[in-house]
Amino acid sequence: MKKMWMLFAAGCFAAVLCGCEKKGTVSGVVMDPFTGKPVELPTVWMDGSVFGTQTAKYPYGADLVNGKFKFDEVPAGEYLIKARRNGYVLGQQRFTTTPENPNAELTLFAFSDKIDPGLYKYPCVAPDKIQNSWVIWAATCSESGAAYRASFTEEIAKGKKKEKRVNKLPDPLVVDANFSVLFHNKGSVTTPITAVSYAARPGKVKDHQDCKGFGDGETDGIFADKSKTTDLKVTYKAEGLFEVTGTLPKGKQIVQMLQDGKSVQTYYFEVK
């Protein structure tokens, strides 16, 4: 037994001396998640390593015009790879390779830092934002989930006179049951985003006293039915950007984005 152990140890030592440890190739592409097109000439690097497209000896510079990168002879291990371009938000991803599986094929995402926060359809020729027409009707609820004012009245100056105008909650946006959007949040990027969809039901304000934002005399609203809840899948894409997917039940829905358990934004949809 002792002899066998000595032979095994000697073999391992010889492998190290010969540089025989398994290495692999890490390659991939940097994509704009909004358009689905490659990001031209990105800078890609692996934290804490010698691998980066910015080095003078990087051999695949011609491929960067198509957003492609490649690193050879990468030792197996855990890595954080990052991608950036001037005017773009950082994209990054953690990955692990092993001696048994030393290669990795990755897709990193980076997007323009001029993109406004909100919900977006994708992929599109240009970023296609879903305008949140219902935001000024939204109430803040501590227990009821989410709510909207059915209407509110405001005074409008007409010369020396003032007129009252009733603003009714806009109709919900019609969407497909197969829900797939991008959500950009410019708040803290260290805390995960969660997303949930509730059936939207008409109700009485007096039955939802935890909801703040209703005006004096307002008796009716649209409220989240927490007994009809659908959790949506949220996937990190890049810093402050998340993919939200799932199957929505038919009918009117309130889709809510949350961070640290607090509502970031709500949207009012009708699912066909």
Taking only the tens place, the pLDDT of each residue in 63-108 is: 999 999 999 999 999 999 999 999 999 999 999 999 999 999 999 9
Do the first three CATH levels of 21-112 and 118-271 match, i.e. the same topology?
Answer: yes
The architecture (CATH level 2) of 21-112 comes to: Sandwich (2.60)
Q: For 206-259, what is each residue's pLDDT tens digit?
A: 999 999 999 998 999 999 999 999 999 999 999 999 999 999 999 999 999 999
**Residues 6+ positions from 214 with CB-CB distance below 8 Å:** 139, 149, 205, 221
pLDDT of residue 93: 96
Query: Please, which residues bridge with residue 262 across strands?
Result: 259
What global pTM score does this model have?
A: 0.85
> Which CATH superfamily does the domain covering 118-271 fall into?
Immunoglobulins (2.60.40.10)
For the residues 123-133, what does the mean pLDDT come to? 94
pLDDT of residue 16: 42
Residue 262 has pLDDT above 80, yes or no: yes
Residue 10 has pLDDT above 60, yes or no: no
The domain segmentation of the chain, as residue ranges, is 21-112, 118-271
